[in-house]
Structure 1
Amino acid sequence: MNAILYVGHGTRSKTGAAEASSFVQRVMERINIPIQELAFLELTEPSIAEGFARCVEKGATQISVVPLFLLAAGHIKEDIPQALASLKNTYPTIKVQVKDPFGIQSVLLDGLAELIRESAGDISRSDSILIVGRGSSDPDLHPAFSKIAEGIRERLGTTSVSVCYLAAALPRFDEELRLIAEQTSGRVIVVPYLLFSGLLLAEVNQKVHQMQKQGIEILHTGQLSKHHAIEDIIIKRATQ
């Protein structure tokens, strides 16, 4: 019997964990597969091992692992495969298929551009868009975000699209945000490239609110899971 195990990153934020659970529940309701479980890589329960075991207990003989990750960085390349390796030894008769992360695809970039328009209205050429990634030491990080920025430029017809990171990569969010705020003649539109709420999004919120109090015309779109395109991508990944 087929099963789906959704794997999220995990967070210390109760709000973020509840948001991820609610989001996945909506996805589950749109998929006609009886065994579906949510697990997290770290910080939030249940663990991958617990989620996997629940699938097996319900009668799963084949498990599709669907990572709730935007890009293929260290967690996708190393951490999740390591967690699954021991489970494959524990359950040698269970077939395991790991789906790809979201990656860079047109439907996601279309959804991101639509989310920006919904949050900011019409985008003028004087507006500056700042895409904020989680950050990673993975060498594929910068090329991936360059493609994301280019995709947004094409869809919104603007040239001022920059990228920064909250950790582990440069340029850092604080520095890039301050620089853009000083240079732009229009609005600053911050786009957190994060799926769910959590401590990282709270950091973005705090910086944006500080600048708003200083009279700077700045806003942010919120997390990506607000847009229906994200649900659609997961459903397609899970059912292919």
Structure 2
Amino acid sequence: MPMLSAYLLVSHGSHDPRPEIAMSHLAFSVQSRFQKIESQQDKISYSKYAGGVAAPPQCETKYETVGTAYLELQPQPLHLQIVEFAQNILSRSTEQSLHLKILPLFLLAGVHVMEDIPTEVEAAQRILGDNVVIDLQPYIGCHGGLVDLVRLQKNSIRAQKYILLAHGSRRPGFEHHTETLAANLGLTTAYWAVQPKLESRVKEFASSGYREIAVIPYFLFAGGITDAIETTIEKLELQFPGVSLKLAQPLGVNEEFADLIWDYLHK
């Protein structure tokens, strides 16, 4: 039996409007990639019937739908957002079943990724029943292609030392992927919410005589935390005269990130 396909990008949620705007742009970019591939496939299929030998099959092209949802700070809990998204897809189609891939746009294996999101997905599955198959994908921080995006961040700034600044988590083992990624690129890790903090890393490098330090934010989008990071950097420059601190852009600001997500979902 034919089954529709749809994709849902899930992020944390924020009081700041910028991450939600960025998520909408990201979903549009990813869906555009699906549409481009399907359009090319339609042209190939149509060409088989060229020359008047036979008429091409009469069917409407079904582009995959890419949506967004949020774990927190929304009127509805995540599981109801998932249910609403799936039901909306089915209501606009003659198909009665749906394969829904959910991709958590989280960079660390913290409590949200390992506990909260799976619980919400299970609740949504119970409500939707057997007509919707929910496929929870590994969080985006697992993707090997992230190393290339972080390398782009690093290469955008010339410095003597580079600090990869991630959020951090209270869940043991959260730092595994971050530490591995940093080691592969010659970066030193620091965390916003746990030790070692950005301040201690800057003090360590400044005391060792380094005068050009770059901070690579291991965050997807600009928002309240990246603003706070900028403020902290300004204070650190006052605290350490003669030290130049440069801040790179977040990961999700370029089209390469949309390519990475499309590749992840298109497997």
- Residue by residue over 1:113-148, the C-alpha shift from the partner in whole angstroms, topping out at 9 and shown as x without a partner, is 122112x14x5xxx1111111110222223322201
- Matching residue's letter, 1:58: I
The alpha carbon displacement at 1:43 in A equals 1.7
Instruction: Identify which range, 17-26 or 91-100, moves more after superposition.
Output: 17-26
Matches within 5 A, 1:96-111: 96-111=134-149
Among 92, 96, 99, the alignment partner of 1:62 is: 99
> Is residue 162 of structure 1 aligned with residue 188 of structure 2?
yes
Q: TM-score if structure 2 supplies the norm length?
A: 0.77
Partners in 2 of 1:171 and 1:23 — Cα distance? 31
CA 23–136 in structure 1, closer or farther in 2 if over 3 Å, else same: same
Distance 1:52 1:173, change over 3 A: farther
Q: CA deviation at 1:84?
A: 1.1
Q: Which runs of 5+ in 2 are unaligned?
A: 36-62, 91-96
C-alpha distance in structure 1 between counterparts of 2:20 and 2:13, whole Å: 7
Query: Structure 1 residue 45: deviation in Å?
Result: 6.0
Mean CA deviation greater in 80-89 or 211-220 = 211-220
Shift of 1:215: 4.5
Instruction: Give the match's secondary structure for 1:135.
Output: coil
Of 53-62 and 210-219, more deviation after overlay is shown by: 210-219
Which residue pairs with 2:44 in the alignment? none
Counterpart of 1:224 in structure 2 is 251
**8 Å Cα contact 2:154-2:162 kept in structure 1:** no
Q: Name 1:128's counterpart in structure 2.
A: 161
Moved more, 72-81 or 31-40: 31-40
CA change 1:110–1:184 in 2 (3 A) is farther
1:229: Cα distance to partner? 3.0
Corresponding letter in the other structure for 1:162? T
8 Å Cα contact 2:30-2:66 kept in structure 1: no
Residue 219 of structure 2 corresponds to residue 178 of structure 1: no
Q: Give the match for residue 110 of structure 2.
A: 73
SS of equivalent to 1:103? helix
Cα distance change on mapping 1:207 and 1:181 into 2, 3 Å: farther
Q: What SS does the corresponding residue of 2:175 show, helix, strand or coil?
A: helix
Aligned residue type for 1:115: Q
C-alpha contact 1:129 1:188 (8 A) present in aligned 2: yes
Aligned length: 227
Contact in 2 for aligned 1:2/1:61 (Cα 8 Å):
yes
Match of 1:88 among 102, 122, 125: 125
Sort the Cα spacing of 1:56 and 1:148 in 2 relative to 1 into closer, same or farther, 3 A.
Answer: same
Task: Give ranges in structure 1 of 5+ residues lacking alignment.
Answer: 154-160
How far off is 1:173 after superposition?
2.4
- Find the residue that maps to 2:231 and give its secondary structure: helix
Residue 81 of structure 1, CA deviation = 0.8
Aligned residue type for 1:204: I
- Distance in 2, matches of 1:65 and 1:106, equals 18
RMSD: 2.1
Structure 1 consecutive aligned stretches of length 4 or more whose deviation exceeds 6 Å:
none
Q: 1:38 offset after TM fit, Å?
A: 0.6
Please tell me whether the aligned partners of residues 106 and 140 of structure 2 are also in contact (alpha carbons under 8 angstroms). yes
TM-score (norm 1): 0.85
Between the aligned partners of 1:84 and 1:216, the Cα distance in structure 2 is 47
Q: Which amino acid in the other structure matches residue 197 of structure 1?
A: A
The 2-side partners of 1:113 and 1:46 are apart by: 37
- Structure 1 counterpart SS, 2:129: coil
Larger radius of gyration: 2
Report the CA distance between 1:71 and its aligned residue: 2.9
